[in-house]
A = this chain, B = another copy of it.
Amino acid sequence: MRNIKLILAYDGTAYHGYQRQANAALTIQQLVEERLSKLFEHPIKLNGAARTDAGVHAYGQVVNFFTTGTIPVERIAMATKGLLPADIVIVGASEEPVAFHARRSAQSKIYRYRILNTRPPNPFERNYTWHCIAKLDTALMHQAAQVVVGTHDFSAFRATGGAPVSPVRTIMSASCQEMGNSIIEFEFWGTGFLYHMVRNLVGTLVKVGQHRVTPEGFAAILAGRDRRAAGMTAPAQGLFLIEVKY
């Protein structure tokens, strides 16, 4: 039995998120499982590193699966190109030890969040940014974001109704930069993220960028561990899973 690791890039616009759902909604997991099952000629069950939500994108989602098939790993990307729709691409494949598990073996993840910060909407960015018209103070958002670096209880940025897991997470780095063309990018590198945590952080940091919350106020929100004190959940389409590290 071979244990195959795949790196997936996908445009999440057309899907109801990564994870297979009980109802008929089309998800990335379901679609990739179906197409790989055809290719390998037996049912394939994927373990995914992250449960990206509907509309969330990935440059480096990682999955693994077991197969008795003999297709060499270097052929998988090419062989699936015609099987998968153009918005899902296998960008890497490797054979791993039997103990490798895409989610449980993950050491850390990098997420990016993109904002379009200009008055006119941009038709090419509509599915890949949060459109914020009011001018944002990028340097102040970057400064405030440094507060989350380290090990903290992130209850203030946790989705209500999420799984009952520990709210303590470690963030190695957080940044906010202007990228040109009115695009602002946040990047968070951490050992793990609570459900909606990046989107809740961004929704609150945008209030800092609008000078409605000070960096000190942002630090107090984190320390207060009260979700109601934080800002809105930033919309899904600005979020990208960039990389999963092992």
A interface with B by C-beta (< 8 Å) = 9-11, 57, 77, 81, 86-89, 91, 120-124, 126, 128
Q: What would 20 more interface pairs be, CB under 8 Å, given A11-B123, A89-B122?
A: A9-B120, A9-B122, A9-B123, A9-B124, A10-B123, A11-B124, A11-B126, A57-B124, A77-B120, A81-B121, A86-B121, A86-B123, A87-B123, A87-B126, A88-B123, A89-B120, A89-B121, A89-B123, A91-B120, A124-B128
A86–B88 Cα gap in the complex (Å)?
23
Closest chain-B Cβ to A117's Cβ sits at a distance in Å of: 16
A122–B58 Cα gap in the complex (Å)?
11
Closest chain-B Cβ to A129's Cβ sits at a distance in Å of: 11
Closest chain-B Cβ to A17's Cβ sits at a distance in Å of: 16
**Please, which residue of chain B has its CB at the minimum distance from the CB of A77?**
B120
Q: Oligomeric state, in number of copies?
A: 2
Closest chain-B Cβ to A13's Cβ sits at a distance in Å of: 10
- Cβ–Cβ < 8 Å partners of A88 in chain B: 123
A57–B123 Cα gap in the complex (Å)?
10
Closest chain-B Cβ to A243's Cβ sits at a distance in Å of: 15
A120–B59 Cα gap in the complex (Å)?
12
Give the 10 A-B CB pairs with smallest separation, nearest first.
Answer: A86-B126, A11-B123, A87-B123, A91-B120, A89-B121, A89-B123, A9-B123, A10-B123, A11-B124, A89-B120
